[in-house]
Each structure stands twice: as structure tokens, then as C-alpha cells.
Amino acid sequence: MDSFIQLLHGFETALSLGNILYCLIGVSVGMLVGVMPGLGPTTGTAILIPLTIGMEPVSAIIMLAGIYYGSMYGGTITSVMINTPGEAASVITCLDGHPLAKQGRAGVALGVAAIGSFIGGTVAIIGLAFIGPSLAEWALKFGPPEFFALMTFGLIMVIGLMGQSLIKGLLAAFIGLTLSLVGMDPVSGAVRFTMGVPELMSGFDLVTIAMGLFGLSEILLGMENLSNSEKPAKVKGLLPRREEWKPTMKSISRGTGIGFITGLIPGTNSVIPALLSYSVEKKLAKDPSRFGKGAIEGVAGPETANNSYSGAALIPLLTLGIPSSPTIAIILGAFIMHGLTPGPTMFQDNPDFVWGIIASMFIGNLILLFMNLPLAGVWAKVALIPSKLLYPIILIISVLGAYSVNNSLWNVGVMMFFGIFGYLLKKLDIPMAPIVLTFVLGKLMETSLLQSIKMFEGNLLLFFNRPISGILLVISLLILLASIYAEIKNKKSHFASDVEM
């Protein structure tokens, strides 16, 4: 009941004219980056964070969160219409969405995806509203050892679940951690590894690194091949046939559950629930041979799952301060940039802020439903903007974004360096998600580890004396050992080499 009243207060904040406008801008930009192949939520949020510097924190996060969940809707459109996933989570939608479009049922695929996304997204936000506060209250009991163990668990999950090779995943994670050491030590105040460069006194900037690794590297890859997309199919009739409603709704409800549960686990990504949902639907189907040829459940389940995931993935961020994916890590960067620290105390210290954002997500999902059902055809045309025009414009916007972080060219240079580095890493199949995640968590991990060591007077075994930190570290160790075993036996099945670009 308390949550419900708080949520109503949140609507007061979210329904102000300015915040509705920012929500609308956020979800529209999200749709745009989702629709454009090569651009995804991570790139979109990284490039646009600097624009939020002058905004009120609540408006800034409303806009950035809108980009995040909006892109999940947008990615579907190009998957269905031109068989090109706009973002990684929609890869699976191509399998049945595009065959449906070829049968002249593009509208039905998009309609089902939009309805599923709306239901999945909304249920996840309701979950966030009701589970979030209790989880945050529980997390208030966490001390430095629990936080350290939780962050270790998240990182091991990222490394263990993704990437073709454990060595490459670990290498990426430790690059991110080591880069986070540059600048002032959070505990003693000592200045480290600045190589005499005054700009490095405060360390590298997360936004600049993310813009390089995810934005510029994508531009470089895109510039390699400036081909144009195929013409999209016409959109007619948005609703499934009467006999298709029942299986569709069942797929949507299963997708909602799968997405929500996956979102709660730190270190997962939006591809995992989509893939899980697709395989569950195929297994449960009376005639699995329809899958890949235009099965409506193959669109409804995964599309619902990735939207439900994106709402649920905000729960670990808002309650524990732990990002679960690169996009969420960048949103965490935006929190910090606006002087806010997400974590267990946030629901108590900044209730207007948290509930304002949660309420805005209901509004955003509703806007997206309207944007997608009648306007899907219009959005598909956006994908036809020639890449030879698009990429240079995104490049100059990235340059402006990097410049405006500190109003200096230093960050433009840093972005260029990490852009070239990211381009090389992508070519070498080294995942970049662990770099950004570990970079954002590095200082927090160091602080919690040093505080724990001090608490335990140097005896690290005492981590295992505390139930939560002990269990999390044991699970992390087991996942690491399983990954090593899979690597040695060459059995590693990876969900995606890099996601949410």
C-alpha cells in the first residue's frame, strides 16, 4: 500500500509537462537508435548523456531510461521489416518476424510485438515498484563484504555467460578494472597512474570511454560498409487472427516471467531472456516445425521477454547500485554525474526521484505502444536513411558529446583512442561489455574490498563467515570453475559475444 501511495506521488513528478516532454524525447530517440542498424541503447545513451548535463537529475534519468527501453521496441521493427536487427535483443525476432512479413503479415508481427512489449514492460515496472523497496530495505543490512561479493558475482556472470573465450572475457574485465585505478585513490586520496597528465587526476570519464568503445567503434565498423538496406514491406492489419490470440497471450505471459527473472540476475543481458523465451516457445509448441517460418509465438515470447527484462534490470541498479548490463552501467554513470548514488538508501533519501522515474516508465511504455501500433511503417522508413549520411552526423554529435563532458578537447582525444581500441577489440572478438561494467564498478569494488580487509583485520577467509558474501563468492567460484572446465573441454556455448550495442 505504501508503495502504491509513493507511486502516485511519482506520477505527480512524471506528469509535469517538462518531464512528459523528456520522456517523449527519450522514447523517440530510443525508437530511433533501436530502428537504426548498428546503433543500440548503449551507443544511444553514451552519446546523449552529455546533453543532460544542464538538466534536472530526474528529467535526465527519465530521458535516458526512455532511450533504454524505447530501443527495445524499435529494434523489432527492422527485424521484421528488413530482416536486420536494430539492436542485439531483436536478433531472435528476425527468425519468425521476417518470414511473417514475407507472408504479408508484417503488421501482425509488429502488433503482437508491441502488445507483448507493453505487457512485459509494464509488468516489470509494477514488479520494480513493489519488489524494489523491500529489496532495498533488505540491502540496507549489507556491509562492504556483501557488496564486494555481489559485485564479484555480477562480474563473473558477465564473463561466464558471454564471449567466445574465458581468457578474452577476463582480459576485458581486468582492462576495465585497471583503467578505473587511474586518478585519485578513493580510500587514501593518493594520486595513481596519471603519468604526469593533469587531466587524469580525476581519472578517465566513463561517458567518454563508453562513447569511444561503443559509439566511435560502431561508426568505424559502419563506415567500412556503407550499403543501403532493403526496402521495407507494407504494414497492414496489426492484430492476430482469432485462433492465434490464445497461444500469443500464453507466449506473452511466459516471456514476461522469463524476462523479469533474468533481469534480476546481475551480469545478464537482454539477449538471454529473448533466446530463453524462444527456445521455451519452440519446446512447448504442438508443431515446432512452424518456428523459423513465421510462428507468431516466436515473435510474441522473445519481444515480451526483452522488454520485461529491461524493466527488471533496473531493480539491481536502483536497489543495490549494481549495473547488470553496459547500458545500465552508463545510466549509473549519469546518476553519478548528477550527484546521485543509486543503492539501498535511494528509496529512503530520494523517494521523489526514484518514484518519478518508475512512474515515467509507465507513461513511456504507453507512449511507445501508440508509437508502435499505428506508426510502425513510418519508423521502418527511418531505417532507410542512407548510412553515408547517418554515420558522419553521428560522429560529429559524438565529438560534441565528448567535448561537452568537460568542455575540453582532451575527452575528444580519449574518445578517439578508445574508439580505435574498441574497433580492434571487436575485430578480435574480445567482448567490450565487461570493460565498461568493471570500469564503473572498479572504484566501488576497491573501496568495499579495502574496507572488508580492514574489518577482517587481513583475514580474507572471514568473507565466508558471513552468509550472503560467503554464498555469493562460492557461487562465483563455481561459475568460474565451470567456465574454465567448459573452456578446456571446448564446450562453451555463449549467448552473444557482445550485446546491447
Residue 332: closest CA among 319, 321, 344:
321
**Contact between 479 and other proteins (CB under 8 A)?**
no
**Contact between 461 and other proteins (CB under 8 A)?**
no
Euclidean distance between CA atoms 444 and 500, whole angstroms = 24
Residue 136 CB partners (closer than 8 Å, separation 6+) = 318, 319, 320, 343, 344, 345, 346, 347, 348
Among 9, 11, 20, 165, binds other proteins (CB under 8 A): 165
CA R_g for the chain = 22
Q: Which three cell numbers stand for residue 207?
A: 561517458
Which residue number, 36 or 238, has a Cβ lying nearer to other proteins? Answer: 36
Site for other proteins in 365-394 (CB under 8 A): 388-389, 391-393
**Contact between 424 and other proteins (CB under 8 A)?**
yes
Which residue number, 265 or 453, has a Cβ lying nearer to other proteins? Answer: 453
Which residue number, 236 or 454, has a Cβ lying nearer to other proteins? Answer: 454
Q: Which three cell numbers stand for residue 245?
A: 490470440
How is residue 228 annotated by DSSP?
Answer: P
**Contact between 460 and other proteins (CB under 8 A)?**
no
**Contact between 197 and other proteins (CB under 8 A)?**
no
**Contact between 201 and other proteins (CB under 8 A)?**
no
Question: Stretches 97-105, 124-132, 229-237, 427-435: which one binds other proteins (CB under 8 A)?
Answer: 427-435
**Contact between 399 and other proteins (CB under 8 A)?**
yes
Question: Stretches 154-162, 290-298, 299-307, 413-421: which one binds other proteins (CB under 8 A)?
Answer: 413-421
Question: Stretches 14-22, 34-42, 173-181, 346-354: which one binds other proteins (CB under 8 A)?
Answer: 173-181
Site for other proteins in 212-241 (CB under 8 A): 219-220, 223-226
Cβ burial, residue 474 (10 Å; 0-12/13-18/19+) = middle
Biggest CA pair distance of the chain = 70
**Contact between 158 and other proteins (CB under 8 A)?**
no
CB of residue 216 vs other proteins: minimum separation in angstroms? 8
Euclidean distance between CA atoms 24 and 367, whole angstroms = 7
Residue 437: closest CA among 323, 333, 309:
323
Q: Give the x-and-dash track for 44-63 against other proteins (CB under 8 A).
A: ------xx-xx---------
Q: How many whole angstroms from its chain centre is CA 123?
A: 18
- Residue 184 — φ and ψ, nearest 5°? -80, 135
Secondary structure class of 72 (helix, strand, coil): helix
**Contact between 168 and other proteins (CB under 8 A)?**
yes
Q: Give the helix, strand, coil percentages of the chain, each rounded to 5.
A: 75, 0, 25
Within a 10 A sphere around the Cβ of 141, how many other Cβ atoms? 9
Which residue number, 347 or 391, has a Cβ lying nearer to other proteins? Answer: 391
For residues 273 and 258, the answer to whether their CB atoms sit within 8 Å is: yes
**Contact between 412 and other proteins (CB under 8 A)?**
yes
CB of residue 2 vs other proteins: minimum separation in angstroms? 38
Which residue number, 128 or 170, has a Cβ lying nearer to other proteins? Answer: 170
**Contact between 64 and other proteins (CB under 8 A)?**
no
How is residue 215 annotated by DSSP?
Answer: I
Which residue number, 130 or 193, has a Cβ lying nearer to other proteins? Answer: 193
Beta bridge partners of 184: 191
Euclidean distance between CA atoms 328 and 268, whole angstroms = 11
Q: Which residues bind other proteins (CB under 8 A)?
A: 50-51, 53-54, 164-165, 167-168, 170-171, 174-175, 177-178, 181, 185, 187-188, 190, 192-193, 219-220, 223-226, 388-389, 391-393, 395-397, 399-400, 403-404, 407, 409, 412-413, 416, 420, 423-425, 427-430, 445-446, 449-450, 453-454
